Structure 1
Amino acid sequence: MTTGVRRRMGVEERRQQLIGVALELFSARSPDEVSIDEIAAAAGISRPLVYHYFPGKQSLYEAALRRAADELAGRFIEPREGPLGARLLRVMRRYFDFVEEHGPGFSALMRGGPAVGSTTTNAMIDEVRQAAYEQILAHLGVRRPPARLALVVRSWVSLAESTALIWLDGRRIPRTELELQLVHDFAALCAVSAAYDEEMAGILSGVLTDEPAEGPFGDLVGRLMTLAPALVGTVPSQRRP
């Protein structure tokens, strides 16, 4: 009869294990509800050993957020091939995969948990937003965005974030519908901005040139066309002096 021997982990390996365990627990429940004792038990080590690697729950929470933030930022990385609408839809699917897998943790990160007010935590959130912003600009092929485009992209990133947070509270709208709606929202924001700015109009025209009728942007045009008769009837005619 042989007796199993627990393998001794190295320092970095143990740290990464604790971060993984903490992220899993924080993803299932609000970080405020997770204790160091639970983390230790899930990792199969003693409470004092957790403190050997991390000074306290907040430092462990921030380490878990660092891993989550890196993963979330990575969801915006997409090969720059094919129509933009299809690319954005794949990005939104991966984004909501993360939101669904790490609901409470995602909510705590964006709304504030035990590390609320932490400069480190706020910086990580900003890094995710900046990574998303830069990826979208890269998909548009724009290195130096005009002011209106920068506003559109940052507004859309914030919209995706707030939409995901609201969706988590009850999930009353089918996730697939929201993913497509957010892609439509991006096109709509660009279109409204294009109505005010020739440079934005040129960018939007370039995007739409490569969009197939059956793609997400084509779908939006089709939906708007069905609404057009009703909308025309509600728009007051312009009176000339």
Structure 2
Amino acid sequence: MASRTPPVADRSEDEQRPVGRTPRRRLSVDERREQLIAVALDLFAQRPPEEVSIDDIAAAAGASRPLVYHYFPGKQAIYEESLRRAGQELAGRFEEKAEGALSERLHRVMGRYLDFVDSHGPGFAALLRGGSVAASPGTTAVIDEVRRAAYEQILLHLALREPSAGVRRTVRAWIANAEITSLEWLGERSVPREELQLQLVQEFVVALTVTAAREPGLALELADFFTAEQPDGPTGRLVRDLAGLLGVPGLADALGRLAAGLAAE
């Protein structure tokens, strides 16, 4: 009896390849899984997760739908794993050597952060805005881990002996502000990326200065911080901009009146 020719779906990749074409190396189990994650992450970076299907992932990976399901139980699982990998990469971008002026270090950090936001926009935007049907406790945990890493890195850069509750609130509030501001920028592109990068760093300097105005101990630490800053750095440029405001007609007089009123109390 003639042997049965196996259907195409049952054949190996090499058996399905036309005669004369150089066979591709078969991927190992780990390699195939990593390939699917990489392909999925790329798709989720281009489109919101709800707009990406298992069929899209399979097609982009040059694989079959059943093969994707062999490695992942569904789209949510591959989305969470892709997000976890992206989250690890993003958390790593907050790491910076404790060398040089603080604002210059943060400027480099925010440059890497905005690079990431720019290249992974739609998927992260949908999640952080709370509008993604793919959001879950797993994805939320990933974002929380990134925020924690950012928080710890900023505190390391401040190098305060005992960060007060006010300082910790300031850092957390700035991280939240950086998220909101960068995601709004992602949708509007109303300013150049370099301008936003500088703005976010200067907003941190301002927030820290306001906190120091209420905490004498932090104010002493802030003196060392400003001493290390350079005139052409983010903080130096901020101080020049603020000093320039005093040239606005009536503003210096108004500020002087407020300051005199406080001194008289």
TM-score normalised according to structure 2 size: 0.86
Are the aligned partners of 1:58 and 1:115 in contact in 2 as well (CA < 8 Å)?
yes
Are the aligned partners of 2:87 and 2:146 in contact in 1 as well (CA < 8 Å)?
yes
Tell me how far 1:2 sits from its aligned partner: 4.1
Q: Which amino acid aligns with 2:166?
A: R
**SS of residue in 2 equivalent to 1:173:** coil
Match of 1:36 among 49, 54, 72: 54
**SS of residue in 1 equivalent to 2:201:** helix
**SS of residue in 2 equivalent to 1:7:** coil
Distance in 2, Cα, partners of 1:206 & 1:106: 37
Matches within 5 A, 1:10-21: 10-21=28-39
Partner of 2:91: 73
Match of 1:115 among 131, 134, 151: 134
Partner of 2:145: 127
Tell me how far 1:16 sits from its aligned partner: 1.0
Distance in 2, Cα, partners of 1:54 & 1:19: 10
Matched, 1:232 2:257: no
Which consecutive residues of structure 2, in runs of 5 or more, have no partner in the other structure?
Answer: 1-18
Which consecutive residues of structure 1, in runs of 5 or more, have no partner in the other structure?
Answer: none
Over 3 Å counting, the alpha-carbon distance change for 1:120 and 1:228 in structure 2 is same
Matched, 1:51 2:69: yes
C-alpha RMSD of the superposition: 1.6
Deviation by residue 1:184-203 (Cα, 9 ceiling, x = unmatched): 00100011111111122122
**SS of residue in 2 equivalent to 1:195:** helix
Aligned length in residues: 240
Deviation by residue 1:42-74 (Cα, 9 ceiling, x = unmatched): 101100110010000001100110011111111
Q: Which amino acid aligns with 2:118?
A: E
Tell me how far 1:143 sits from its aligned partner: 5.7
Matches within 5 A, 1:62-211: 62-112=80-130, 113-116=132-135, 118-142=136-160, 144-211=162-229
Q: Which amino acid aligns with 1:7?
A: R
Q: Which amino acid aligns with 2:253?
A: G
Match of 2:78 among 60, 76, 86: 60
Are the aligned partners of 2:49 and 2:134 in contact in 1 as well (CA < 8 Å)?
no
Are the aligned partners of 1:58 and 1:114 in contact in 2 as well (CA < 8 Å)?
no
Matched, 1:6 2:24: yes
Are the aligned partners of 1:65 and 1:109 in contact in 2 as well (CA < 8 Å)?
no
Distance in 1, Cα, partners of 2:53 & 2:196: 34
Distance in 2, Cα, partners of 1:64 & 1:114: 16
